[in-house]
Structure 1
C-alpha cells in the first residue's frame, strides 16, 4: 500500500504544507467542513488550508464524485478500497504539480475560516478495552489481587456506547448529573459528577460493512478500516462505580464523547504499520478466528499520543497547556484493530460504513504514560500537581483537555491527527 503519495521528498505548492506538523501532503485526511453560512461539505486538509473536494470533483476520479457531493463521508467510506486509493493518488498529484495550481487554489479555504463538523453519520458506536496497562491499573483499584478478569487475554472486551452524543472537537462538555453512592452511605445521592475524567483513545471508522449474519474474516478486516481519529471518551467515575454492575457503564459514559474532526485514512497510515508486539510469555494465543500471520506482522500502528490540560487559571495567567502524559499505541494495545473488527462481526453482527469503534484508554506501562486522571491520581488518592501550583484529582469546571497524536516511522514524513479538545462547563 506504500506508493508515491508517501514519498517524503514529495512537496506541495501549498507553502504551509511543507514541514507542517500535522497535515503535510503525505497525510491528506478527510473531513467535513463549512464556510460562512454554507452547508457542510467534504474536504481535505493541506497545510493551513482546507480543500473543497466537491468543488473540484470534476478533476477527481469519476467513481468517487457522487460520494463527494454528500455532506458526510459515509458513502465515500463505503466505496471499494481501490476507489479511495485512487482519490488519494489524484489529490496528491493535484497538490504537488504546480500546473494544477490555477484550478485548485480558488477552492482552498484558510482553516481559521472553516467550521469542522462530525465527519460521518455515526450509526453505531462500540468502545473496546484494548489498553492492557489501563485495564491493569483500573483493575487494581477494584481487585488488587486479581486486576485482570480471566477473559481479558482471550477475547477483545467491548460494549456498545451512545452514538447520538458524540461531538466534534471544540464542543464543550457539560458536567453530567447522576447517582452516586459513597461507601459509608446507606443510600445513593443525586448531583453533578465529582470525579469527571478523560480517556485517551483512538477512534476507528468502518469502511465497507458486512451483511447481517455474515462475519468479516481477519484477513479481510483491513479493507473495512476507513481511517482513524482521536477519541476522548469522557467518564464520570463516581457514577460508574455505583451503576456498572451487572450491565456495565451507563450514565457514566453516555453524556458525551469527543472526536477529532479529521479522519486519517488507512491509506495514509500504511507506512506506519508495524508488527504487533509479542504477547508476554505465558499469555494464551488468540483463538484461530483472531489469528493471522499478516496481521501480527503488520497490523499494529506506531502512533505517539499526548494529553494536555489548560485550566481556567492557566488561561487567566496566559500560560500554555501543560502535558499530563505521553503514550503510544505500541505500548498500549493488546489487540489489533483487525482483531476488533473480526470479533465484532464474528457472531453475524452487521457493521456499517461510518460506524465508530473506540480502542479504549491507551495507557503505557509507566505512570507518565497514563491515559486518564484516574490512573495519574491513583483513583483520586494522590493529586496531580500542575506547574502553576494547581492540583487535580479529577477535572474541574473550566478545564480543557487536549489530545494529539502523531504517526511516525523511520524514512517517512510523520503525520498528525489535529487536535481533539473540549472544555468542561458547569452542570446545568
Structure 2
C-alpha cells in the first residue's frame, strides 16, 4: 500500500472559535500530547500509507512547524521506499493567483505535486483524502480494500447519525445491499431528508441517516477527471457540495463504506470540548488514540504529582500538580495546578515552557510571570488555552450562565456556554467569571 496509495489531509480551512485565533483547527492540541492533525496522519501511517501530503492555508505556522518537527522524511533507498509527510501550503503561482477556495479547489491546485512526477516514483493508484479536524480510528487498509473490491471511482467513509446532525453534514442515500451511493446532499433541508433516510431506519433510532466522515478514496483516474471538471467550472470548490454530486451525475461508481467505531467531527468549540472529555472516559473512545504519536513531549520529564486526587483525568508529560483535586478533565503538557484548586470537566491545553515546582516558587519571588493555575481556584466546564496565567482564588464557572460573550480584552470568551481563557491571557487574583 505504501507504493500505490497517497494520503491527502485537508488542513487549510478557517474555523471560527476562540482556539483558532492564532492557529488552524488541525493545530489545536488534542489530549495530552497530540495535535488534531496527528489523528489522520497516524491513521495513514498505521495502514502503511507513508507518502502523505498536508494541505495548509489558514493560520498555518504552528501546523507547518509541527509537521516538520514530528514527521521527518525518510529519504533512504530507492524512490519507492521513501516516506514523507509533506506540507503543501497555499501559494500564488504564475497560473494560480487566488488562495484555496474550498476542499476540492485545494486538491486541484496541488495536482502537480499529487501526480508525483517530480519524485520519480510509481504513480499512485488511489488517493485517501481526509479531513484534518476529526477524531477517530479506522483501518484504512480495509477501506482501500473495499474500494478496490467494488472497483469504485470514489468511496466515501460514512457514519450513522440522527436527524439533528444530518442537517449539518453530507448525507447519502445508499443501496442497502450493494453499498452504492445513489444520491448525496451536503447539509440537506428538512424536506430533503425524507428521501435520504436509511431503509432500515425504523430499527435504528438516532442512526436514521448515513453521514460523510470527510474521508474519501479516489481512484487516480477519477480524481484527475474531476479535477479537469473543476478547471472548466472553477465555481465548484468543495468535495461534498460539488465533486460528489457531479461524480454521481456523470454516473461514476460511488460507494459508501460504513464505519461503526468512534468518530467525532471537531468543527466547533463544543465538538472539541466534548471530544477531549471523551478521552478521559475509559469507555467512550475505547483506545481510539492510545497508540497515536506526535513529538510534542519528546524531551519533557514525567508528570509530578503530590497530594492530589484524580478521577478520569489525562495528564500530560511535564505537568506539576500539587495539593489539588481534578476530575473528568484533560491536562496538556507542562500544566501546573496549585494547592487547594479544584478542576472539574475542564481542558487545560498546557504550556510551552516546563518549570519545576521549585523553579515556579523562585520565579514568583522575583516577580516573574509564570504559566498555569494558581492556588485555591475553582475551574468548571472551561478551556484554558496554552500559556495562560491564572492567579490565586480565581473562579471560572460561568457564574451568570452566559451562552456567548466576547471579553477577549479581559482574556476570555464564552462560546456555547463554555468559558475559554485565551492563549497567553493573564487572569488576576480573585476574579470570578
TM range (shorter): under 0.3
TM-score by length of 1: 0.23
TM-score computed with the length of structure 2 as normaliser: 0.23
Structure with the greater relative contact order (CA < 8 A, sep ≥ 6): 1 or 2?
1
